């Protein structure tokens, strides 16, 4: 015989479950910013605060002068309303202020969007504009989007004008990052954290120091299909389009990087530092594949300075044109790795330099790389071989190079379009300048 009490209990549990499901559905719903839907908030921060974890925050087209912090799982995205489709985060009327610090140096950071101590945060279809930021000294460091001990995806955003401006007295500060991913001991929890962030299909331009950056052990930063453009000739800082450094992991795949030019660096004798398209600094096992890099002072720069390993890089399928002062690909302080199927044209120095002028972990100054199927056109040397144990295949092809393969770390520049480099016979040991906020 069926128990009435049992049946009531089952019915009660079913109703409770239904109510729970409804609450959960509402809890992980969508909120709106800017009045184009309900529930609505007037600011992005209000929407983030009012959205339960797992929600979507839809930002209506418009301008939002604020700094935003996110410390829970959610999706923050701009949406189209009618024919309008641009939600812009700008500096507040009084300028940006420091809202966190670097996990490595303690440097004050003013992040326009600061994601910290969480996972699963996607930011999409937003413009983050650092113009009129109001910073009057070289601190705090301005960052457009900052993932700090946090993971997620940055997808189809614009990060622009993270700079002091070309006429500002701050032009010369070594700061200004479009997108920055960093790991370390959290200032919030006191525990070591990690960050895994994919930055994809985004436009990053007119930054002062770096476009897209992933730093520190515990970080994995994947830069995929982004367009990164420096300011062109600038005295602001030696820019790097994409940087993975200081023990971080990751990859740079199918990006376009152009116009990173530090204007005081005109010839190899007067360059204290240089601007690079892609810089890998003290990080190992990075994949740099199928990128286009043009109109830069250094193209792909790999450097190990003896603090951390920079070994075993994969540099493949890249197209580099117009490396204005230095090498198309410079591998310095790095052991092993492969360099294949790249096309390098119009290098200020060599097309590919296996560089012995850096210190590596444990002794030898790099070497043991494998080079094959590279097409090298117009350089003082197609391959400048300064390290030992490299395997240089016969499948590499050379066009209009003063030398095909040349031993050592210097070669004479002779091409007419850079004849202004009067000291081209002597290659200085110039080092890239990584961003170390």
pLDDT single digits (tens) 134-188: 999 999 999 999 999 999 999 999 999 999 977 787 888 999 999 999 999 999 9
Q: Report which of 173, 145, 172 is spatially closest to residue 160, judged by C-alpha positions.
A: 145
What is the pairing mode between strands 108-124 and 100-101?
A: antiparallel
For every residue of 107-123, DSSP letters joined together read -EEEEEEEEEEEEEEEE
**Which residues of 356-416 form beta strands (DSSP E)?**
370-372, 375-385, 391-392, 397-407
What is the b/e burial string over 151-183, where b = at least 16 CB atoms within 10 angstroms of the residue's CB? Answer: bbbbbbbbbbbbbbbeeeebbebbbbbbbbbbb
| Cis preceding-peptide flag for 421 (omega within 30 of 0) | no
Q: Which residues share a beta bridge with 301?
A: 279, 330
DSSP, res 390: -
Q: Give the residue carrying structure tokens 């990859």.
A: 251
Q: How far is CA 332 from the centre of its chain?
A: 21
Q: If you write DSSP's letter for every residue of 70-99 in order, what string do you get?
A: E-SSEEEEE--BTTB--EEEE--TT-----
**Which portions of the chain are predicted below pLDDT 50?**
1-26, 414-428
pLDDT, position 27: 53
What per-residue confidence (pLDDT) applies to 110? 98
Residues 6 or more apart in contact with residue 147 via CB below 8 angstroms: 115, 116, 121, 154, 180, 181, 182, 195, 197
Tens digits of residue pLDDT in 137-147: 999 999 999 99
* C-alpha span between 93 and 7 (Å, rounded): 63
| SS3 at position 60 | coil
Residue 190, pLDDT score: 96
Write down the pLDDT at residue 270. 67
| The pLDDT value given to residue 4 | 39
> Which whole-number Å values give the CA distances from 225 to 5, 146, 212, 239, 296, in the listed order?
62, 19, 12, 19, 19
């Amino acid at each position: 015989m069926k128990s009435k009490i049992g049946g009531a209990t089952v019915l009660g549990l079913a109703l409770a479950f239904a109510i729970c499901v409804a609450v959960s559905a509402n809890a992980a719903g969508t909120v709106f910013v800017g009045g184009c839907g309900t529930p609505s908030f007037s600011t992005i921060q209000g929407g983030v605060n009012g959205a339960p974890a797992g929600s979507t925050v839809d930002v209506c087209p418009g301008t939002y002068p604020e700094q935003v912090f996110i410390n829970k799982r959610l999706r923050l995205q701009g949406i189209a309303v009618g024919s309008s489709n641009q939600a812009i985060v700008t500096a507040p009327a009084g300028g940006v202020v420091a809202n966190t610090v670097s996990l490595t140096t303690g440097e004050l950071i003013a992040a326009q969007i600061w994601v910290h101590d969480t996972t699963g945060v996607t930011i999409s279809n937003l413009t983050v504009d650092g113009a009129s930021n109001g910073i009057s000294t070289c601190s705090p460091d301005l960052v457009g989007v900052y993932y700090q001990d946090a993971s997620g995806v940055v997808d189809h955003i614009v990060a622009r004008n993270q700079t002091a401006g070309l006429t500002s007295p701050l032009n010369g500060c070594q700061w200004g990052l479009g997108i920055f991913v960093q790991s370390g001991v959290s200032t919030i929890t006191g525990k070591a954290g990690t960050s895994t962030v994919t930055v994809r299909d985004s436009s990053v331009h007119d930054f002062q120091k770096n476009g897209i950056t992933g730093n520190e052990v515990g970080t994995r930063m994947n830069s995929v299909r982004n367009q990164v453009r420096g300011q062109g000739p600038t005295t602001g800082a030696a820019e790097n389009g994409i940087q993975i450094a200081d023990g971080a992991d990751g990859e740079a795949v199918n990006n376009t990087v152009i116009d990173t030019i530090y204007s005081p660096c005109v010839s190899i004798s007067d360059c204290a530092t240089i601007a690079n398209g892609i810089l890998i600094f003290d990080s190992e096992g990075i994949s740099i594949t199928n990128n286009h890099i043009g109109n830069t002072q250094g193209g792909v720069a790999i450097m190990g300075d003896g603090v951390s390993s920079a070994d075993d890089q994969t540099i493949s399928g890249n197209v580099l044109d117009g490396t204005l002062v230095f090498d198309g690909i410079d591998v310095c302080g790095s052991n092993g790795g492969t360099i294949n199927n790249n096309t390098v044209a119009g290098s200020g120095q060599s097309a590919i330099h296996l560089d012995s002028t850096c210190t590596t972990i444990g002794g030898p100054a790099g070497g043991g790389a494998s080079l094959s199927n590279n097409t090298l056109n117009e350089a003082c040397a197609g391959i400048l071989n300064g390290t030992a144990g490299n395997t240089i295949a016969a499948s590499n092809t050379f066009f209009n190079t003063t030398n095909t393969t040349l031993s050592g770390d210097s070669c004479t520049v002779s091409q007419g379009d850079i004849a202004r480099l009067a000291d081209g016979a002597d290659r200085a040991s110039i080092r890239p300048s990584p961003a170390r906020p």
